[in-house]
Amino acid sequence: MKLSISKNVHLVEPGDFEPTDHWYPRVLNSNIHPLVAYFLNLSHDQMVERYHRLHPSSDASAIKEILQYQPQYFRWAGTDLMHVTNHEGNRKLAVIETNSCPSGQKSMPLLDLNVEQGGYRRLIEKTFKPMVDAHKEEGRLAVIYDKNPMENIGYAATIADVFGENVLLAKFEKEDQDPPAKFVDGKLFIRNEKEEWTEIRAAFRYVTQEPWNRLPKGSKTLLLNPIEACLAGGRNKEVASRAYDSFNEKFADKGIGIFTPKTFTNVPYQELEKYFDLLGGSMVIKVPDSNAGQGVYTVINPTELDYTMSKISPDDLYLVQQLIHSNYSKGLDSSQAWYHVGTIPDNKGRSYAFDLRLMMHATEEGLRPLAVYSRRSGHPLNQELSENMNSWEVYGTNLSIKGEDGWTYADERLMLFDIRNFGQLGLGIDELIKGFVQSAMAVFAIDQNAIKTFGDKVANL
């Protein structure tokens, strides 16, 4: 990547991609697990048939409709799932949330050692390039972002290679009083090498912190993803929850549905204590439009409830979810309680909660898995917490840490889907297929909600 050409803008040229800059060091030296590679290469027909075999009451044609769906707004997504079980040992992949600008490439071993740009290139070639080719606008190409430079510089360099042209990489932060990017009448402009505003025909977008403050609805510049995907549920947990409910109603007679922990939306601050009691003395409180592990609180006792209520605003509405528990307990309602399956116990007997981040993208054939990795919690499920620790240590899996100097990552808790790590998760190919179908249903639900809310994108172009 070349030096800054203007404030917070870099020029990225073909040939600038350096693998060591775009993956965590230990990912560069890892080899993908053969079972994971096999999963990533399964056809839709194979996945549909297997999912139907695992869920005999499901309608195979409905599952195929979901997997072959062509989203209008939400064409690149990452779903966070958790591997859970109940009293009867009925294991499921639960959808925790869906993200419209997902990270994950830097944590994904190469599927093909001969393609050094890995998933970066698959996303740009199979999703971004067909969109740009169909858009037929004038102007330059750009990447706009507000965090995760490791991946965004990688995307910019990949776009430069795939299109054979220079790409503008612009940092577009919400606090910036003089940002290097702006929208005029729905068109994106970025400062170029001459400090002039240059028109952008298409931009890869990784603007995640309150993106509606900077991005307009109905953008005339092609964006992957446009802001409508965020507003329809890709960056708002409360709106997403309603989209999932709508999906489940629509497909109830097809035997398929999005599985989430029991969820309550628009809960006033003053009623949080009531829900704490209703859910049996534990819950998860979420600020609806937060992300990267911020604004999420696990509560397992009155002390934690008091602490959480001191940290959040009395004027806001919250999303409350049933907590997925650490261990089987006779005190919980056996008809509704779910538990973390957790990692395979290590040689000290410790098992940890973990999630799966499953990134997918829209291609000519429909939705396809693109990258997958896991993150584990800091404290084991099967050990008591010491007095000075909170339950987030047991249940929180996110690696993002917001410090005074910006974002850092606790990558020691990253679980790669490679030969060394994958076996520790206790997952098989059936879980990966079930997780992908759950993720695809979530993307379908949010995109359908975007169409319902903002209209048919094709008609609006």
What is the per-residue DSSP string for 406-456? EEEE-GGGEE-SBTTTGGGGT--HHHHHHHHHHHHHHHHHHHHHHHHHH--
Averages of pLDDT over each 10 residues, the chain, 461 residues? 74 96 93 98 98 97 98 97 94 95 95 95 98 92 95 97 97 93 96 91 96 95 97 92 97 97 93 93 85 78 92 91 83 80 96 96 98 94 84 83 54 90 97 98 98 79 44
Same domain, 129 and 152: yes
Both 219 and 336 in one domain: the answer is no
The CATH number of residue 119's host domain is: 3.40.50
How far is the C-alpha of 94 from the C-alpha of 86, rounded, in Å? Answer: 12
- 326 alpha carbon, distance to own chain's centre: 23
Note whether 13 and 113 are same-domain residues.
Answer: yes
Residues 257 and 363 in one domain: yes
Q: Is the CB of residue 427 less than 8 Å from the CB of residue 418?
A: no
Question: Is residue 296, in this structure, part of any structural domain at all?
Answer: no
**Domain end point (choices 197, 224, 251):** 224
Domain enclosing residue 430, as ranges: 31-100+237-261+324-436
- The predicted pLDDT at position 343 comes to 97
In terms of domains, do 338 and 399 share one? yes
Looking at the fold, whether 37 and 17 belong to one and the same domain comes out as: no
Number of domains the chain contains: 2
Same domain, 121 and 11: yes
- Same domain for 67 and 90, yes or no, is yes
293 belongs to a structural domain: no
- Cα distances from 17 to residues 21, 101, 155, in angstroms, run 8, 21, 9
Residue 231 is assigned to a structural domain of this protein? no
Instruction: Please report whether residue 316 resides in a domain.
Output: no
Classify residue 303: in a domain, yes or no: no
pLDDT given for residue 399 in this prediction: 64
- What pLDDT is stored for residue 407 in this prediction? 47
Residue 166 lies in a domain: yes
Query: What does each C-alpha distance from 75 to 45, 287, 298 come to in angstroms?
Result: 21, 25, 31
Domain presence at residue 455: no
Is the four-CA dihedral 161, 24, 430, 296 of positive or negative sign?
Answer: negative
Neighbouring CB atoms inside 10 A of 258's CB total 25
Q: Same domain for 370 and 403? A: yes
In-domain check, residue 375: yes
The CA-atom distances, in angstroms, between 358 and each of 80, 91, 159, 218 are 7, 18, 22, 28
Element (H, E) at 273: helix 272-278
